[in-house]
Each structure stands twice: as structure tokens, then as C-alpha cells.
Amino acid sequence: MSLKEQITEDMKTAMRAKDSERLGTIRLLLAALKQKEVDERIELDDAMVVAIVDKLVKQRKDSVAAFTQGGRTDLADKEAAEIKVLEVYLPQRMSADEVAVEVKAIVAELGAKGPGDMGRVMGAVKTRLAGKADMGQVSAAVKAALSGA
């Protein structure tokens, strides 16, 4: 069963259970997936679905930070609950140590030296670690690896 089919099945389960918060979040996700398919006239594979889920989680995290800063804990809690629902569809995240090891291996493969190669390294890292690691953490690891190189 593909990830998209799993999300659809989870929506049906949430409908039957009358879990309105979960149902709303899953419907939002399915709408984003459908929008991408219609806009680009493609059928999404699991990697593309993970990328969209990752984007939605990042948006929610930014919203939580903004709502917390604005003193709206009620809205921040709602966004945090949506993050929990969306993270179910992401693969297991890598730890900071695993990210650092992977980044060092990619830097060595590319023979990158110094901050000038950051764009080239980030391009390779994004394709290999997409959905598996937080890109903010990855960026910091790349900067550290290139400054030490």
C-alpha cells in the first residue's frame, strides 16, 4: 500500500471514529497532495508525498513559534496537534550524530572544501536525506563539515 493510500485509509478511519481534529488535518494533507498532482499533472510517489508532509510540518512549526510569541497558546496547541498527526507519515528521523556522519561522507565524496562548496553539498545532501532529517540540522552539519575541511 502506498503512502497516499494509507493516508486515505486513515481519513476513513478518522471519519468512522468521529475524530474531527485528526480528520481535518488529514483532509488538509490530502488537499495539498491533490493540488500538487493537479498543478503538475503527475501522480505522486511516496518520496513526493513525504516531501509535501515535511513542508506542511515545517509550516506548522513556524506557526507554533509565531503563535507562542504572540501569546496565543490556544492556536499554538492546535498547530502542535496537527504536527503530531502529520509526523506519522514521515519516515524515522535521523539523529544529529547520524546526520553529521552522512554529511561528512557526502563532503568527502564530492571533494568539497570550504564554504564556497556549500550549495553543491546541500544539493547532494537534500536528495539523499530528504524526509529523513531536519534540513535545519543538516545545514548546520554541512557548515560545520565545510569549515573544518
Give pLDDT tens digits along the chain (149 positions). Answer: 899 999 999 999 999 999 999 999 999 999 999 999 999 999 999 888 988 998 999 999 999 999 999 999 999 999 999 999 999 998 888 888 888 888 888 888 888 787 777 888 888 888 888 777 877 888 888 888 888 74
Residue 143's CATH number: 1.10.10.410
Q: Containing domain of residue 133, as a range?
A: 96-148
Q: What per-residue confidence (pLDDT) applies to 116?
A: 77
Do 80 and 9 share a structural domain? yes
For residue 29, what pLDDT is reported?
96
Rounded to two decimals, the pTM is: 0.77
**pLDDT at residue number 15:** 97
Long-range contacts of 17-21 (CB under 8 A, 24+ apart): 21/81, 21/82, 21/85
**Are 83 and 100 in a shared domain?**
no
Same domain? For 67 and 100 the reply is no
- Which residue type, as a one-letter code, is found at position 43? E
What pLDDT was estimated at residue 43? Answer: 93
Residue 54's CATH number: 1.10.1510.10
Residues 6+ apart with CB under 8 A from 81: 21, 25
How confident is the model at residue 3, as a pLDDT?
92
Provide the number of structural domains found in the chain.
2
* In 41-95, alpha helices (H): 46-69, 73-87
Q: Provide the pLDDT for residue 75.
A: 96
